[in-house]
Amino acid sequence: MPGRLRAKDVFGERPHYSLGIDEPTPQENCLVLTVWTPAADKKHRPVMFYSHGGGFVVGSSGSPLQDGSNLAREYDVVVVSSNHRLGLLGYLYLGELAGEEYATSGNQGLLDIADALKWVNANIESLGGDPDNVMIFGESGGGAKTSCLYAMPSAKSFFNKASIESGPGIRMLEKDTAAETTRMVLRRLGLPDQEWRKLLTVPVDKLVEAQVAVGRPPALPGARLGWSRGISGLLGPGAFAPVVDGRILPNHPFDPTAPAISKDKPLIVGTNRDESTFFFWERKATDVFELTFPTLKERLQKELGTNADVVLKTYQESRPDASPSDIYVAITTAGMFWVGALTLAERKVAQRGAPIYSYLFVHESDYVIPGTSHKFGAGHATEIPYKFNNIEVVKSMGGGGFIVANAGSAAAAHNMSEMWATFARTGRPGAKGQPEWPAYDLKNRATMEIDAQCKVVRDPYAKERELWERLAP
């Protein structure tokens, strides 16, 4: 494709966690694998296969925060990441207009990842990996991609365990919604529906411009009931995301149940404690960090109507020392990610198959959000360099934007990275010197809080969980 579009023209100004440095312009010819291995010696090491974040339209496996060198070197594993088609090029659904030949067109991005896993299965032994011991994992959009892979028949033979991080993909796009997005693209390009085939002759940069024009930016977080049942802000017309097409993705990944084809595959699922700070920071919505209890109540009444009083009362009782802004961050984090992660965990438990392990990342970034006195905390994406044990990379970059290391960061990174590498090796996460991590069940709801010193918490924020179960069952 001609080099007329820069990454920032397509994606906007994104933080280091999402994009690599000095990468080429976006293009369809992007199917690249990166492999980090201690040695190409056929030793049969565990394989950790990562899908990057950024929803389904943004991101790259080339981000330095996701470099797999330390994981491979320190824990004797093989780390693999892939680039794959995103946005319109990966998820434009033509099945309704173009018929059988294009029935799976809405999931080409997922098929790219499945092909990468197939390549790993066929070739990783020569690079020191074990094709029969592969863990898939990913954060945010990468977590949603992992949710889909966990439910994809064409991928099931190529991995043995999974971790879904800050991106619980409960539901994906229905075909009719995806077809409406396709019609929006055609209208933008001046093409009637019956001339859809002309899409094949439109230059790729013009297709990407149409994607940007019709795309739906993620909604600014708010207190809403039941919105974490899908991928917040991504499931309406104008979205580019996986399609439940009855073939590549036969059903929604975790709705109404966990996928039967992965019943016997162990799973980690979790979120960061303060996910939504990222989105308020990214959208420069600094008013959130200036809330008083009266203005918080007023805001909740607009967003939750008659449920506002009970929500505010529950959170004040659950977090008696929290500021109004902290409470709003907690409520919106629950709506975006936490409730979805709990739903996913509960449906996996109901299968009575392989164990599931729940976590909450609580280690705080000291980054102060510009224009406020509020720290970023354990916001969305802050855990990425921790699970890759790349805190020194953060320091060398002068900080990962909103990720600022502190005195406990090195210990927290070692804990998380060792837990993930141990899970890749054995199917059970753990780290030396840290508490044993019990499997999640509906009696104890054991959850590992990840920090410089980790701890297991029984049913964290139980009153809040029970509240959302009543309001958005």
Q: What is the pLDDT of residue 248?
A: 97
Q: How many folded domains does the chain comprise?
A: 1
Task: Look at residue 254 and tell me if it is in a domain.
Answer: yes
455 found inside a domain: yes
Tokens at 408, concatenated: 């406990």
Q: Say whether 366 sits in a helix, a strand or coil.
A: strand
CB 214 within 8 A of CB 322: no
Question: Does the active-site annotation cover 140?
Answer: yes
In 3D, which of 451, 464, 459, 445 has the Cα closest to residue 339?
A: 464
pLDDT reported for residue 396: 74
CATH number at residue 118: 3.40.50.1820
pLDDT of residue 227: 52
Per-residue pLDDT tens over the stretch 19-53: 666 676 767 788 999 999 999 999 999 999 999 99
What 3-state DSSP class applies to 376? strand
Identify whether 449 is part of a domain: yes
- Residue 375, strand partner residues: 368
The pLDDT value given to residue 219: 67
Per-residue confidence (pLDDT) for residue 472, from 0 to 100: 79
Within-domain flag for 2: no
Name residues of the chain where pLDDT drops below 70.
1-22, 24, 26, 216-219, 225-234, 397-400, 473
Beta bridge partners of 271: 360
Rounded Cα distance, 432 and 437, in Å: 11
Residue 61 lies in a domain: yes
Instruction: Give the count of beta carbons closer than 10 Å to the beta carbon of residue 284.
Output: 10
The phi, psi pair for 298, rounded to 5°, reads: -60, -40
85 domain residue, yes or no: yes
Dihedral angle sign, alpha carbons of residues 49, 53, 57, 58:
negative
Question: Per-residue pLDDT tens for 218-243?
Answer: 667 777 766 555 454 457 899 999 99
Choosing from 140, 276, 358, 409, the catalytic residue is 140
Residue 462 domain boundaries: 7-471
Report how far residue 11's alpha carbon sits from residue 286's, in angstroms, rounded to the nearest whole number.
22
First to last CA, the chain: 47
Identity (one letter) of the amino acid at 466? Answer: E
| Sign of the dihedral through C-alpha 402, 405, 411, 414 | positive
By C-alpha distance, which of 88, 116, 125 is closest to 32? 116
Domain-embedded: residue 73: yes
User: What pLDDT digit, counting tens, does each position of 79-138 carry?
Assistant: 999 999 999 999 999 999 999 999 999 999 999 999 999 999 999 999 999 999 999 999
pLDDT for the residue numbered 183: 97
Give domain status of residue 163, yes or no. yes
| pTM for the predicted model, two decimal places | 0.94
